[in-house]
């Protein structure tokens, strides 16, 4: 069965420190990988994606993600966290064989303390 | 215009009511989606429209009826809902179904539905 795992329900980081939100996947082939962010009472916003090429992908608001094929991981990172980064983050995967169906991870709540 | 709009923002309905949710995008996207999201959970896919045709129905109960009148509009008709259907309903669109899933999805702000 295809799945996406976000092992941490919550990540707490002090403002100015680096942050990492973890994501691993179990999807056959070479899937497309995405990160979305959701602020309270809002829809999801696209942050970044990996399709092919360079393993380090840069996205919106200073976020980046590193694709690791051998570990089937796609961790989200930011060098210096802001309080405004506090939100719910979803990793997502699309299999090339079922292209219309996106599989979301369970979500990680990121909390940045001043 | 890079927005997906949804109306209404909030909806309260009884179990015998009929109501509709509306979604609109003017980005020229040819794939549109309905999701259901419970609190603190990921969105669950309900329906996918590709080039205005229903391509995926994730075994959604018939009390939910989608409609895609044209390439910019997506409706979700609701009838005889149950209290457990209370959730945030999200609409999304993406550029080109032929891209094979590589296109990111643009989400609307959602409709918060409460069924009494």
Q: Can you tell me the distance from the alpha carbon of B27 to that of B41, in angstroms, rounded to the nearest whole number?
A: 28
Residue B1 confidence (pLDDT): 63
Contacts of A62 (CB under 8 A, 6+ apart): A78, A79, A80
CB atoms within 10 A of CB A57: 21
The answer on pLDDT for B106 being more than 90 is: yes
Provide mean pLDDT across the span B4-29: 95
Residue A95 confidence (pLDDT): 87
A40/chain B closest Cα distance in angstroms: 10
Q: Can you tell me the distance from the alpha carbon of B7 to that of B43, in angstroms, rounded to the nearest whole number?
A: 18
B40/chain A closest Cα distance in angstroms: 8
- Which of A74, A72, A73, A83 shows the shortest CA–CA distance to A111? A83
- The 10s digit of each residue's pLDDT in B58-101 is 999 999 999 999 999 999 999 999 999 999 999 999 987 767 67
The answer on pLDDT for B7 being more than 90 is: yes
Q: Nearest-CA residue of chain A relative to B56?
A: A100
Percent of chain B residues past pLDDT 70, beyond the cut: 96
Residue A40 confidence (pLDDT): 87
Q: Which residues pair with B45 in a beta bridge?
A: B35
Residue A28 confidence (pLDDT): 84
> Is A45 in Cβ contact with B40 (below 8 Å)?
no
User: What does the pLDDT profile of chain A (114 residues) look like in tens digits?
Assistant: 789 999 999 999 999 999 999 999 998 888 999 999 999 888 899 999 999 999 999 999 999 999 999 999 999 999 999 999 999 999 999 988 776 788 999 999 999 999
Percent helix, strand, coil in chain B, to 5, is 5, 55, 40
Which tokens sit at B34? 């309905």
Residue B97 confidence (pLDDT): 73
Terminal-residue alpha carbon distance, chain B: 36
Contacts of B96 (CB under 8 A, 6+ apart): B29, B30, B31, B103
What residues in A contact B110, CB-CB < 8 Å?
A: 41-43
Residue A1 confidence (pLDDT): 77
CB atoms within 10 A of CB A93: 24
The b/e string for A18-56 (b: 16+ C-beta within 10 A; e otherwise) is: ebebbbbbebeeebbbbbbbbeeebbbbbbbbbbeeeee
CA distances from A47 to A41, B47, B111 (A): 18, 23, 22
The answer on pLDDT for B12 being more than 70 is: yes
The answer on pLDDT for B2 being more than 80 is: no
Query: Among B87, B102, B109, which would you mutate to test the A interface (most chain A Cβ atoms within 10 Å of its Cβ)?
Result: B102
Residue B111 confidence (pLDDT): 97
């Amino acid at each position: 069965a295809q799945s996406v795992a976000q092992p941490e329900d919550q990540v707490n980081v002090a403002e100015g420190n680096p942050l990492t939100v973890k994501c691993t996947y179990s999807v056959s082939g070479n899937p497309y990988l995405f990160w979305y962010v959701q602020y309270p009472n809002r829809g999801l916003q696209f942050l970044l994606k990996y399709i092919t090429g360079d393993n380090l992908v840069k996205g919106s608001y200073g976020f980046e993600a590193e694709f690791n094929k051998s570990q089937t991981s796609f961790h989200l990172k930011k060098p210096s966290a802001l309080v405004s980064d506090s939100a719910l983050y979803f990793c997502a995967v699309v299999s090339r064989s079922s292209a219309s169906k996106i599989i979301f991870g369970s979500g990680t709540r990121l909390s940045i303390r001043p | 215009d890079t927005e997906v709009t949804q109306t209404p923002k909030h909806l309260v309905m009884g179990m015998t009511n009929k109501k509709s949710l509306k979604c609109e995008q003017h980005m020229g996207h040819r794939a549109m989606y309905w999701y259901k999201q419970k609190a603190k959970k990921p969105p669950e896919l309900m329906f996918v429209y590709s080039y205005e045709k229903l391509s995926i129905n994730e075994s959604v109960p018939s009390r939910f009826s989608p409609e895609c009148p044209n390439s910019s509009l997506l409706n979700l008709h609701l009838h005889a809902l149950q209290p457990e259907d209370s959730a945030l309903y999200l609409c999304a669109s993406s550029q080109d179904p032929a891209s094979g899933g590589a296109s990111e999805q643009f989400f609307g702000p959602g409709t918060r539905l409460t069924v009494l």
